[in-house]
Chains A and B, each alone.
Chain A
Amino acid sequence: MSDKPPRARRRGAASVLEVDRLSKSYGSRTALREVSFAARPGELLAVLGPNGAGKTTLLEILAGISKLDAGEVSRSNGKVGWVPQEAGLYRRLTVEENLRLFARIEAVADVDATVERMLEQTGLEERRGDPIASLSGGNQQRINIAIGLLGDPSVLLLDEPSAGLDPSQRIRLWQFVSSLAKGGTTVIYSTHQIEEASHYGDRLVVLADGEAIFDGSFAQLRRAAGPRPKGSVADPESDFVRFLRRKGH
């Protein structure tokens, strides 16, 4: 465990993505300051932090949407899939048409086979002919993720994937995402919910005010937060808040 890694922990060939002292500013406002971490194949990595901590900015830089000001992002061979927070889908097109369109734009070798695989993975074969607008938020998010997976990426970036979903949709979503990780895809997702990160994150990178102040497991974070006050119930949220306070945030 490291509270504030000065450099990405080198994992050699095991790392599929390495971020080294990444910085980004918007005018006079610093969004990210020397953020470093690395991700292993098949790892579920949660980028955790309060609103405005710089999570989305970090993921957008990793996805190639925004440019970094300083630092370095290196990745091993393979594509990076991107899943925006709000579903980026054509609502008037059907599930299958959306998958087929993006598969063609991604220049996927076998479009038909890929679309079928994605329909199977998302469990939405039955609804392949339905317009996206008629799907629930959870199912739209599944298609949103499936489109991010079309290019068969080694790293999948998800920006607040469970935002706006009800508890049962959230559980189904995480089952789907976990199955991707088990299949070898590295999943890096942002969230501000510590419970979600503690349940579905193999590792947590905590951002606060643009700085990475923690990189490790939830158990390590709980230990770093210090002892609970007497009489308090075990609660990840309280542990996280205590940790942030302890770090001066």
Chain B
Amino acid sequence: MRWLLLKDLQLLRRSPLVTGLLVVYPIVLAVLIGLAISRSPDKPKVAFLNEIPAGESLSLGPSEGFSQQEAFRQLCARIECVTASSREEVERKVEDGEVLGGLILPDDFLERLEGQLSATSPEPATVDVIVNQDDPLKAQLVDDRIRALLTEANLRLSERITEVAASYQGILSEGGEFEIPLLGQVVQILGLRNAERILDTVAASVAPEQRAEIEDVRDFARIARENLDLADDFLASVREPIAVEKQVIAGDVPPLDTFAVAVAAAVTLLFVTVLLVSGSLALEREENTFTRLTRGLVSRTGLLVEKAALGTAAALGVTLLMLAAITPFQSIGWDRVQLIVPAILLAGAASSALGLAIGAAAREVRASALLAFALALPIAFVSLVPSGTVGKSLYDVIQVVAGAFPFSPALDALSGALAASGPDLGLPFLHLALLTLGYLVLARLALRRFA
């Protein structure tokens, strides 16, 4: 068997295209994945025109308002702002494709916003968004990003208004100075607590028949103050109407970057191994050497074991090469190599066994390559469908189908091996071992009509 293994390695050396694929494929994939996970997504480039007069800002009474500089800084932290000097320039930049979209703050924006907030004007404050519709995807991207920005701005505004309202109710309850919004006039507010105290003093010095009426007014002031105190919580709930409390009830989740590396490694391992092994077995028949070999020189099972060993060795080499290539972009837990290697070996063995079943069934190199692609590609995609994105029955079917192929347990094994927070390794290892055995049996049965 060792001579057959050496022969297959020799054949690989003679096939520069296949060998090149074995080396280049994992490196290219590793670099692509590495770049994808090591770089944050690009910010969309948006032409920005601010027509609001310089120095004008949004005043919200005693609380701090919004300065233009602060608003501009926050906006441009989320999009790449390309400053424009006129509406025509914005339109030209969008039309030329220099920017993905345009955002214009009209000169009456703050005026209308203050009018809305003081209920003195029915005109809503609007911003103008300019999008090039020649590319619906691009338009959707800009539209979504700007809508998200405006939603965030609205939330910040309502948060600030809530704070202002809370300060108003504080003054109403406790008294103090109050600046009338938009007018700038400062007035002294007595406050309910002070009114209550004054009424207490007055009640003690008046005739008993008048005291009852004063006490009614004092009680009203106390009840009003106490209820205004409760309004703090209510206003806080308006500021943050929906709170999120996360509770994880199932699943061991590795970091997203590690999961991406595991997906890339599992895809590489599956494709390379299945294609190599199925092709190698089918080649024995195409070269008419199968009959010669199995005529007492090598048993059919021995030949399958030799091919599985070839595939597993290739899987180990290719996957380690890929992980090494991805290391400059993404930290790989090489201190967990004692788990990584067994995970690759088992995933490689299961993928090799699948390749053997395909090669034995297809019997021709081209047919086996086609079958390997036709099977491996959709299986890899289907295995990545998360729960909740399809109906429960369909998801159950997908789980069963994915479980019959090595990609899903290989992904779990690699995720678990690469990160301590990943899935436990016991189940995927057992799953892969069973798949290896099952596919070897299928391949052995298919070899009956192979020659």
Query: Could you list which residues of chain A lie within 8 angstroms of chain B, going by C-beta atoms?
Result: 63-65, 82, 84, 86-93, 97, 101-102, 104-106, 131, 147
Contacts and interface: CB of A to CB of B under 8 A. Distances in A.
B287 interface: yes
10 contacts: A65-B295, A84-B291, A84-B292, A88-B290, A89-B287, A90-B11, A91-B287, A93-B10, A97-B10, A101-B7
Ranked 9 nearest A-B pairs via Cβ: A88-B288, A88-B292, A104-B3, A92-B14, A88-B289, A86-B288, A105-B297, A101-B7, A65-B295
A56 to B, nearest CB: 11
Contacts of A82: 292, 295
Interface string B196-219: 000000000000000000000000
The dominant DSSP class at the B interface is helix
B15 interface: yes
Contacts of A97: 7, 10
Given A84-B288, A88-B289, 5 more contacts: A82-B295, A86-B288, A88-B290, A93-B11, A105-B297
B296 interface: yes
B299 to A, nearest CB: 12
B298 interface: yes
A212 B80 CA distance: 90
A97 B294 CA distance: 19
Interface string B297-316: 11000000000000000000
Contacts of A88: 287-292
B68 to A, nearest CB: 73
Interface in B7-22: 7, 10-11, 14-15
Contacts, number: 51
B420 interface: no
B155 interface: no
Question: Which size class do B's interface residues fall under?
Answer: 20 to 34
Nearest to B8: A90
Contacts of A92: 11, 14-15
A53 B297 CA distance: 28
Contacts of A131: 14
Contact of B289 (A63, A64, A89): A89
A64 B296 contact: yes
Contacts of B11: 90, 92-93
Nearest to B12: A92
A93 B295 contact: no
B4 interface: yes
B385 interface: no
B4, B11, B289: residue with the most chain A Cβ atoms closer than 10 Å = B289
A239 B404 CA distance: 62
A105 B298 contact: yes
A90 B285 CA distance: 11
Contacts of B295: 63-65, 82
A63 to B, nearest CB: 6
A93 B297 contact: no
Contacts of B297: 102, 105-106
A84 B292 CA distance: 8
A65 B15 CA distance: 31
Nearest to B6: A101
B4 A105 contact: yes
Contacts of A147: 292
B451 A65 contact: yes
Contacts of A105: 3-4, 293, 297-298
Contacts of A91: 287
B14 A93 contact: yes
Nearest to B298: A105
Interface in B344-364: none
Contacts of B293: 105
Contacts of B298: 105
A2 B295 CA distance: 33
A104 B293 CA distance: 12
